[in-house]
Structure 1
Amino acid sequence: MSNTITISDEQLEIQLLLEAIFRKYGYDFRNYAFAHTKRRLENRRANEGLRSFSEMQHRVIREEPFFNKVLLDLSINVTEMFRDPWFYQKVRDTVIPHLKTYPFIKVWHAGCSSGQEVYSMGILLEEEGVKDRVQIYATDFNERILEKAKLGIYPMDLVREYTVNYQKSGGVGSFSDYYTADYDNVAMNSSLKDKVLFSPHNLVTDGVFGEMNIIFCRNVLIYFNRELQNRVLQLFCDSLCAGGFLCLGSKESLRFSDVADKFEVVSEREKIYRKKRTL
């Protein structure tokens, strides 16, 4: 009798759907956390009135506009300006003094989504007087979301929350100085984009991204399974210069990862780590 793997029909259908997406379009969600992926796919299936994930697979393969809907569903788009203000306060107080010692600073926002954290860091760097010697790389695999990030236009009804976050993060000016209001939206100042290069990059399938002084990838790894987390963390390790900083989300950690011994902890609460100079 041959060995068999016990798997539900629904789980198999989802695996085949993700395999089809990878083979047809090149986007690899096969090692995303299963519960998260299933929940997002279930929402799309219900909204479209489909009876099974097999029906969804059929449409994904044959209808690219439908695939684009699914791609947006699977993208990680939860973000805000100065999210977790205490994190930015810690960066300002602890990390920036080190970065100021470099003649040129390379920053990578990996999985930048619609760009709020990119502009947050741009404001911080401007207030700390180092923006003129910084190059910021903002990347995401979803090019539609990346276009939104480039525009830097956000709903007016979020500004009050963003302003409070900015103030709590140690902002030294007025948040309103960094945007222009226009009816229902605000547009971030174009000066905040001067040092930003928005570029497509897929953490799952693409390789090392330059030699960075600091990498931000906050609240992305929680959507990956352990194998993919380790692969991406190794990518970050390889993309950092010696002494470079890695900033993760509040529910993420290097503890128990394959690269834990290659970093020292700068702040466990804020999940800020520094690559050791000698490995």
Structure 2
Amino acid sequence: MSEIEDLEIQLLLEALYQRYHYDFRHYARASIKRRLTQARSQLGFPSISAMQDRVLHDPAMLPRLLGFLTVQVSEMFRDPSYFRALREKVVPHLRTYPSLKVWIAGCSTGEEVYSLAILFREEGLYDRTIFYATDINPEALAAAEAGVYALDRIRKFTENHQKSGGRSSLSDYYTAAYGRAVFDKSLRNRVVFSDHSLVTDAVFAEMHLISCRNVMIYFDRPLQDRAIGLFRESLTRKGFLGLGSKESLRFSAHAAAFSEFAAEEKIYQRREP
């Protein structure tokens, strides 16, 4: 039965790529299997094949399936020590540039986008920065652009912000009403939200900082190398790359192109060419 299910998963991933150009074929198989099993159960299909049949013939099913296949768990200033390291160690270098470009790759529903926008505003860099927030899930991008979060999440966001070395109150940046927190539109004035796939798309700009956290843990090794290669190409000379707490460049084919800048916080700097 397991062999049949593995074949069904392989066929579904190929179908998604051929029909809709979403490529999950090189995501870590154990993670994909877990997510598809959850989708099959919650969407009420008797098998993966039945789910494939539906998604092929009913495009309206695609966003629902993408909700299971893409990572949508985050919080503002997640892992506060990462943002503190950006603030204390990376920002002094970024201050030397007249203009800046920052890429948040795999931005999901936008928590990290607003975290970085607030941090850059507090450090006086916001007005000279363009932020590129990208993801493959259009519904997640729409949520990120809206900047609306459940009010019961704000306490954790606020705690993280303070631990990250925040220079203001997080409440300065949102309005609370009807159980929701709506973040200030001014935080989005310099943000470009865009569809971009680390699996199939190319580099699109020269960046000073790329933050791609807790995305590559879902990729297999060749796909991780492809993504890191993209980041290497996209980073300006001596630009910075931030990864998630469980991610590393140690075994990457591109490891030699980077030096550890803040090792514990998984922040790397592109070496001189």
- SS of residue matched to 2:264: coil
Say yes or no: does 1:197 pair with 2:192. yes
Which residue in 2 is equivalent to 1:58?
53
- SS of residue matched to 1:251: coil
Say yes or no: does 1:70 pair with 2:99. no
Unpaired runs of at least 5, structure 1? 1-6
Which residue in 2 is equivalent to 1:135?
130
- SS of residue matched to 2:102: strand
Task: Return the match for 2:257 from 258, 262, 273.
Answer: 262
Following superposition of structure 1 onto structure 2, how do residues 108-127 of structure 1 map, counting pairs within 5 Å? Answer: 108-127=103-122
Which residue in 1 is equivalent to 2:163?
168
Which residue in 2 is equivalent to 1:210?
205
% identity of equivalent residues: 52
Q: Letter of the aligned partner of 2:72 in structure 1?
A: N
Preserved contact between residue 113 and residue 146 of structure 1 (Cα < 8 Å): yes
Which residue in 2 is equivalent to 1:152?
147
Deviation at 1:248?
A: 0.3
In the alignment, the residues of structure 2 paired with residue 54 and residue 234 of structure 1 have an alpha-carbon distance, to the nearest angstrom, of: 34
Deviation at 1:23?
A: 0.4
Q: Letter of the aligned partner of 2:52 in structure 1?
A: Q
Deviation at 1:100?
A: 0.2
In the alignment, the residues of structure 1 paired with residue 176 and residue 184 of structure 2 have an alpha-carbon distance, to the nearest angstrom, of: 10
Which residue in 2 is equivalent to 1:28?
23
Which residue in 1 is equivalent to 2:5?
10
Q: Letter of the aligned partner of 2:136 in structure 1?
A: F
Aligned residues: 272
Deviation at 1:122?
A: 0.5
Task: Return the match for 1:49 from 44, 52, 65.
Answer: 44
In the alignment, the residues of structure 1 paired with residue 5 and residue 39 of structure 2 have an alpha-carbon distance, to the nearest angstrom, of: 15
- SS of residue matched to 1:258: coil
Runs of 4+ with >6 A deviation: none
Unpaired runs of at least 5, structure 2? none
- Once the two structures are overlaid, the 10-residue window that deviates more, 49-58 or 101-110, is 49-58
Preserved contact between residue 219 and residue 251 of structure 1 (Cα < 8 Å): yes
In the alignment, the residues of structure 2 paired with residue 175 and residue 229 of structure 1 have an alpha-carbon distance, to the nearest angstrom, of: 34
In the alignment, the residues of structure 2 paired with residue 52 and residue 256 of structure 1 have an alpha-carbon distance, to the nearest angstrom, of: 37
Task: Return the match for 2:235 from 240, 243, 247.
Answer: 240
- SS of residue matched to 1:64: coil
In the alignment, the residues of structure 1 paired with residue 57 and residue 189 of structure 2 have an alpha-carbon distance, to the nearest angstrom, of: 40
Say yes or no: does 1:231 pair with 2:213. no
Task: Return the match for 1:85 from 80, 85, 91.
Answer: 80
Preserved contact between residue 152 and residue 188 of structure 1 (Cα < 8 Å): yes
Preserved contact between residue 63 and residue 139 of structure 2 (Cα < 8 Å): no
In the alignment, the residues of structure 2 paired with residue 151 and residue 185 of structure 1 have an alpha-carbon distance, to the nearest angstrom, of: 12
Q: Letter of the aligned partner of 1:34 in structure 2?
A: R
Deviation at 1:105?
A: 0.6
TM-score, scaled relative to structure 2: 0.98
- SS of residue matched to 2:60: helix
- SS of residue matched to 2:265: coil
- SS of residue matched to 1:214: strand
Task: Return the match for 2:92 from 97, 100, 110.
Answer: 97
Deviation at 1:51?
A: 2.4
Deviation at 1:48?
A: 3.0
Deviation at 1:218?
A: 0.3
Deviation at 1:209?
A: 2.2
Which residue in 2 is equivalent to 1:4?
none
Preserved contact between residue 59 and residue 67 of structure 1 (Cα < 8 Å): no
Which residue in 1 is equivalent to 2:245?
250
Deviation at 1:212?
A: 0.3
Instruction: Give CA-to-partner distance per residue, 1:112-167, whole Å, 9 cap, x none.
Output: 00001010011110110111111111111111110110010000000111110000
In the alignment, the residues of structure 1 paired with residue 242 and residue 55 of structure 2 have an alpha-carbon distance, to the nearest angstrom, of: 35
Which residue in 2 is equivalent to 1:186?
181
Q: Letter of the aligned partner of 1:167 in structure 2?
A: Q
TM-score, scaled relative to structure 1: 0.96
Preserved contact between residue 50 and residue 56 of structure 1 (Cα < 8 Å): yes
